[in-house]
Structure 1
Amino acid sequence: MIREHLIFRKAVPEDKPAVLAICAQIWEGDDYIPEVWDAWIADPYGQFSVVELDGKVVGLGKLTRLTPTEWWLEGLRVDPAYQGQGIGRFLHEQGVALANRLGKGVLRFATSSANHSVHRFAADTGFAHIGGYALFKGPASTSPTAFTPLPEGDLDIASRLLEGSERFQAAQRLFEDRWWTWQTLTRELLSRYAAQGQLLGWRRRGRRLSGLALVSDYPSEGRLIVHYADAPGDLLSDLARDLRHLAGERGLELVDWKVFDRPDTRAALEAAGYENTWENTLWVFERPIRPGAVDSE
């Protein structure tokens, strides 16, 4: 079996040409891994790993520590010339085993709802599917916005709004902190976003806080990225529409938002002028880390 000849090890700087050659064949050459190579190879907490077969790098993957108790598997890639031989499963299992050695708490990852082989890996290694995210985009508009930076003094109100949100609870209290990575939205993170001016309060007609949004501007791409946004009940559609106004006010072209996939949320965004831009959804999986476990399961 090919598995007996696979070597899983930590990536080193000398692996870069081989890794980039694999990535050049992924996503039509638009893979993000070349951009994060330096950060991944220098990560002091997680591990950037490769798989060798007969001295050749044929796959790669990354274990990332998001917080001391939340870990993330990402960047699993297999050289197209070697796909279909169990290397992806081997990488996944080794990543789980590595998390058991290095971490504690929970381990998560995300993949397409259409990636059935990875769903099988997940089931076989004790992961549970905890939700999906739909990709929506909305064009910027020119109307005034009711969003303003949330002051530190309103963090308690914002926290109560989230705790009372059925959508937030259904999403397991997760949000997209960075691209394609979900973790728990804590009070500490709310405070950090507020200090950076990225936590915005939404007040309808100048009244009390009715909703909030965590956002980032990407001027070079013309996008307003929504890390998380929420408002009670039917107000979500109005908030979503106002995010389009915010993008226009900031000179951006569109709003880019991965929303927790529910019929009411989809309906709210569609009513606010957004379009679902991907036929699939992004599924998030989770399992407990078992420190000291000998293998992945």
Structure 2
Amino acid sequence: MVLREAIPQDRDGILKIATHTWEGWDYVPLFIDTWLAEKGLFVAEAGKKIVGITKTTELSKGELWFEAIRVAEEERGKGLGMEIAKRQLEMALATHPRSIRLSTADRNKASISISKSLGFVERVLFQFYEDYGSPGVPLREDLNIVTLRGEQMIKKAWCIIQESEEYHLSKKLLPHTWEFYDFTEELFSRLAQEGFVFSTEDTGGVLVLLKNRYSSLNYEVAFLEGSEESVSELSVFAQRRFEQKASDDYMDAFAVSERKKGILERFGMKRSKDIEKVIVFEYPLPAFR
């Protein structure tokens, strides 16, 4: 078996594998054209036949993320998943990264087994939340919420984040639809400049509200903290921002602290019935902390 960089001519072979994953629903087709245009999408080839795929993404310089290991339906049970993951790890280590991480649901026993066998260690356990809402509800006009702008407001909001229980228990990771980023001040400032960070007028609280990677109609409460009054207003804002979308999609969130879990549950989000926990694994590099 050879693991090589994917090329545009591999597109049909990749899609054939993805159609037999997760009972016909797989996010790989959503990203295939983007992934083919950038580096990091690999195909496993045996006898000129594509038998598997995997993806390595550089979230920031030296911050590597593994996802989307897939094996052709007719090739499963032969240890190919382990072999693909092993070679992917070897290739990643050769680039001398700062970190290598991946995430998986607690029910994905195969992924957990492969990760542990390769030496990955459990970094954080997140609870997964969902909310299906009531589409068509107009956004309230009386909420004193602003899009975070300006160096002073960003600095004040960043202090709220750094002092929060969620920031520390999450090992300083920011979730975004099953990817977990190093939550740095640089990343926070960029998200604020892009319009994804909200606050009350007095900057008493901060909300990072991202678009779901799989659907632009879905919102994700990536971070929410502050005074009780501010959190209450920001929670209503997030809910109304979601509900004004005339769609059947949903809002989701990941939480590790009891504080964030309580906030999410108070404004109507519920723990997923299908996924108990989301595990973030990290490979123990010398700088592992």
What does 1:149-228 correspond to in 2, within 5 Å? 149-152=147-150, 153-177=152-176, 179-201=177-199, 203=200, 208-216=202-210, 222-228=217-223
What does 1:22-61 correspond to in 2, within 5 Å? 22-44=17-39, 47-61=40-54
Tell me, yes or no, if the aligned pair for 1:165 and 1:232 is still in contact at 8 Å.
no
Aligned position for 1:295: none
Question: Structure 2 vs 1, CA of residues 233 and 288 (structure 1 numbering), >3 Å: closer, same or farther?
Answer: farther
Aligned position for 2:272: 277
| CA distance in 2 between partners of 1:258 and 1:221 (Å) | 15
Question: Structure 2 vs 1, CA of residues 67 and 257 (structure 1 numbering), >3 Å: closer, same or farther?
Answer: same
Structure 2 residue runs of 5 or longer lacking an equivalent are none
Give a deviation string over 1:233-268, Cα, whole Å, max 9, x none.
797566434421333467677761222234443333
SS of 1:102's equivalent in the other structure is coil
Q: Aligned match of 1:118 in 99, 111, 134?
A: 111
Shift of 1:190: 1.8
SS of 1:85's equivalent in the other structure is coil
Matched, 1:12 2:7: yes
Aligned position for 1:82: 75
| CA distance in 2 between partners of 1:235 and 1:116 (Å) | 40
| CA distance in 1 between partners of 2:249 and 2:227 (Å) | 24
Shift of 1:57: 1.0
Give a deviation string over 1:132-174, Cα, whole Å, max 9, x none.
3313225255544343101223111011111111111111111
Give a deviation string over 1:91-139, Cα, whole Å, max 9, x none.
1111111110124111000111111222122222221212233132252
Q: Aligned match of 1:97 in 90, 99, 103?
A: 90
Under a length normalisation based on structure 1, what TM-score does the superposition of the two structures give? 0.82
Aligned position for 1:287: 283
Counterpart of 1:121, as a letter, is I
Aligned position for 1:294: none
Counterpart of 1:172, as a letter, is K
Tell me, yes or no, if the aligned pair for 1:244 and 1:254 is still in contact at 8 Å.
no
Q: Percent identity?
A: 22
Aligned position for 1:135: 129
Greater shift, 89-98 or 120-129, is seen at 120-129
Shift of 1:18: 1.1
| CA distance in 2 between partners of 1:95 and 1:189 (Å) | 26
Give a deviation string over 1:18-75, Cα, whole Å, max 9, x none.
111111112333322223222212224xx21111233321110011111112100011
| CA distance in 1 between partners of 2:38 and 2:229 (Å) | 43
Q: CA RMSD in A?
A: 2.7
Question: Structure 2 vs 1, CA of residues 195 and 58 (structure 1 numbering), >3 Å: closer, same or farther?
Answer: same
Tell me, yes or no, if the aligned pair for 1:138 and 1:244 is still in contact at 8 Å.
no
Aligned position for 1:3: none
Counterpart of 1:180, as a letter, is W
| CA distance in 1 between partners of 2:123 and 2:193 (Å) | 30
SS of 1:229's equivalent in the other structure is strand
Counterpart of 2:66, as a letter, is L
Greater shift, 188-197 or 165-174, is seen at 188-197
Structure 1 residue runs of 5 or longer lacking an equivalent are 1-5, 292-297
The alignment of Structure 1 onto Structure 2 pairs a total of residues equal to 278
SS of 1:259's equivalent in the other structure is strand
